[in-house]
Homo-oligomer: A and B are copies of this chain.
Amino acid sequence: MVVDTGKASEALQLRSLVRRNGELELSLASVAVPAPKPDEVVVRVEASPINPSDIGLLFGAADMGTARQSGTSANPVVSATIPEGLMKSMAGRLDQSMPVGNEGAGVVVRAGSSDEALALLGKTVAIFGGAMYSQYRCIKAEQCLALPEGTTPAEGASCFINPLTSLGMVETMRREGHTALVHTAAASNLGQMLNRICIADSVGLVNVVRTQPQEDLLRAIGARHVCNSSAPTFIQDLTQALVATGATVAFDAIGGGKLAGQILACMEAALNRSATEYSRYGSTTHKQVYIYGGLDTGPTVLNRSFGFAWSIGGWLLWPFLRKIGPEAEQKLRERVVAELKTTFVSHYTKEISLAEALRLEEIAVYGRRATGAKYLINPNKGIAA
């Protein structure tokens, strides 16, 4: 059993600060490692993914094209300018130095006095709750997901957001009475997981992608319905896939542009193929698009040619989990742990340290949020435990 004996009292933590003057500043702060309360443990974080949701907090509304490097290579500082028109959206976080990193995994190196906390000592655990881009994270024992023997922190780093989001989509589909679903930006890590879930559960899935390589990637892992929005036949392809699957709910990571409306229009066209009577109000079958990301932050444009039985709205994991309650959430978590190396496996392009995360050349890569360019931060990389 490898146990950090608790000598470290100071640890590095990545911070994001938006100043009132319109400057974003990323830096590494040295923070005290707190002594755990009876029901808490201290985790030495060894793997934490850079998810799109982390990038939002990390960069705020800054134009990263303006990013400048200062400080030293061990203690780098990155500054960037926030366009004046976007400062309004930053009002709630002005002049607060904020820790970043939604989820991660590592080894429990100190434990409080409770049985529950002591039981975790030396174990590899997955954790969620912010501030994971830190060498050490103090957290309640009950918030730790103990990983099976033989699981590395890197394998357990993405136990929450992508696995629970993709399971949450399928669960939402079922609870709202749909029988198949559509997913956009479908070649992402999350999209690949969703394909594995849908294949395992025999759920119809229509994947929408933008490029041929993305289409190839999904077909290679067994996706049956893949529609390329760049193809001239996209609208027909999508309608045909909707007829074949009967999908009436979609989860859209893109948000802006015409795609969400096109999905609704194609659903309506698919439903009307079997209509027997004319209705000016369109099909009576409810069609739903949930926007869960904002890869395109431009306006959502809906050409309303899909009757009145439709809805488009925001979807987030945490309100969904609150809605289904702790017992249902526990079942989803158990499935994630059981299938961590199969259904819920994540692929990373590169593992970087906290200091490397603040290098402009790395930011230029992971900041693009492109499919197949996912980074893992190891806050203890290159640092002796």
| Cβ-defined contact, A302 with B304, below 8 A | no
Q: Is A36 an interface residue (CB 8 A)?
A: no
* CB contact between A304 and one of B261, B300, B309 (< 8 Å): that residue: B300
Indicate whether A304 sits within 8 Å of B299 (C-beta atoms), given known contacts A56-B280, A92-B277, A278-B92. yes
| Cβ-defined contact, A311 with B311, below 8 A | yes
- Once the chains are docked, how many angstroms separate the CA of A315 from the CA of B56? 34
Q: Is A333 an interface residue (CB 8 A)?
A: no
| Cβ-defined contact, B319 with A314, below 8 A | no
Work out how many copies of this chain go into the complex. 2
Q: Is A243 an interface residue (CB 8 A)?
A: no
Indicate whether A312 sits within 8 Å of B312 (C-beta atoms), given known contacts A96-B278, A280-B56. yes
> Shortest distance in angstroms between A186's beta carbon and chain B's nearest beta carbon?
20
* CB contact between A279 and one of B92, B277, B278, B281 (< 8 Å): that residue: B92
| Cβ-defined contact, B291 with A304, below 8 A | yes
> Number of A residues whose C-beta is below 8 Å from B?
41
- Which residues of A does B touch, CB under 8 Å? 53, 56-57, 89, 91-93, 96, 255-256, 261, 272, 275, 277-281, 284, 291-292, 294, 297, 299-305, 307-316, 319
* Pairs across A and B, CB under 8 Å, 13 listed: A57-B280, A91-B272, A92-B277, A255-B304, A291-B304, A291-B308, A292-B308, A297-B304, A299-B302, A300-B301, A300-B304, A308-B319, A311-B314
Contacts A92-B277, A312-B312 given; 8 further ones with Cβ under 8 A? Answer: A93-B278, A294-B304, A301-B301, A302-B302, A308-B316, A309-B316, A309-B319, A311-B312
Q: Which 8 A-B pairs have the closest CB atoms?
A: A311-B313, A92-B278, A308-B314, A300-B302, A93-B278, A308-B316, A299-B303, A299-B301
